[in-house]
Amino acid sequence: AQSVTQLDSQVPVFEEAPVELRCNYSSSVSVYLFWYVQYPNQGLQLLLKYLSGSTLVKGINGFEAEFNKSQTSFHLRKPSVHISDTAEYFCAVTPPRGAGSYQLTFGKGTKLSVIP
Amino acid sequence: NAGVMQNPRHLVRRRGQEARLRCSPMKGHSHVYWYRQLPEEGLKFMVYLQKENIIDESGMPKERFSAEFPKEGPSILRIQQVVRGDSAAYFCASSPQGQNTEAFFGQGTRLTVV
């Protein structure tokens, strides 16, 4: 079984400042990793995903994340945030194959508030 | 190419009534997943279906909840005799194959039980 911990439930940050949203996971097998964004009263939109290869993954809207296998982390970063980035962000994992490989296991989410 | 369509977007039911949530997957997608998001929680997997088959319902409550994905028409998540604790956002996702690496989510149905 897998689990995901998002260490911060809320992150306020000033506009144009950098931001890091933290995600740690626990799994007895290798996993694929994802970050999703949810705007108010909307569905989830995929920001980026790590399947294999380079540990630095670039996504949409200027976000990137780095997979650190030794620390079992997949932190999301953006060098300069905009008001429009205000949303809730979810980290998720899934095993690449075998039992449960079609289930995404989500963290509880981090609410990013960008302050003008 | 329309995305994953869920309806209704908002649903209010009185305790004891039935709730029916619909999900039309993206064109060409034959795999559907349902997730539930309780307040202040992340999404929790409920059930995975292919056309006419339930593949994994390990996340479904044992009673009152059922899901189907018929050969024709949308996938349906049915909740019988709703209780206040069923109030949540229910999301559907679809993928072309049974892999979440290519899953797309709908906008969800927000169920309120009064």
What's the pLDDT tens digit per position in B55-65? 999 999 989 99
pLDDT (tens digit per residue) in B19-39? 999 999 999 899 999 999 988
Of A54-68, B40-54, B96-110, the range with the lowest mean pLDDT is: B96-110
When pLDDT is averaged across residues B72-84 and rounded to a whole number, the result is 97
Does B35 lie at the interface with A, CB-CB under 8 angstroms?
yes
Average pLDDT, chain B: 92
B positions 39-58 inside 8 Å of A (CB): 40-45, 48, 55-56
SS (H, E, C) chain B: CCCCEEECCEEEECCCCCEEEEEECCCCCCEEEEEEECCCCCEEEEEEEECCEEEECCCCCCCCEEEECCCCCCEEEEECCCCHHHCEEEEEEEECCCCHHHCEECCCEEEEEC
Residue A60: other Cβ atoms inside 10 A: 10
Distance from C-alpha of B75 to C-alpha of A107, rounded to nearest angstrom? 26
Closest Cα of chain A to B74: distance in Å? 18
Other beta carbons less than 10 A from residue A49's beta carbon: 19
Chain A interface with B: residues with Cβ < 8 Å: 4, 32, 34, 36, 41-46, 49, 51, 90, 92, 94, 100-109
Task: With a cut of 60, say whether residue B1 has pLDDT above it.
Answer: no
Interval B86-111 mean pLDDT: 89
Q: How confident is the model at residue A40 (pLDDT cuts 50, 70, 90)?
A: confident
* Confidence (pLDDT) at A99: 66
- In the block, tokens 């302050």 appear at A115
Residue from A41, A104, A108 whose CB has the most chain B CBs within 10 Å, to mutate? A104
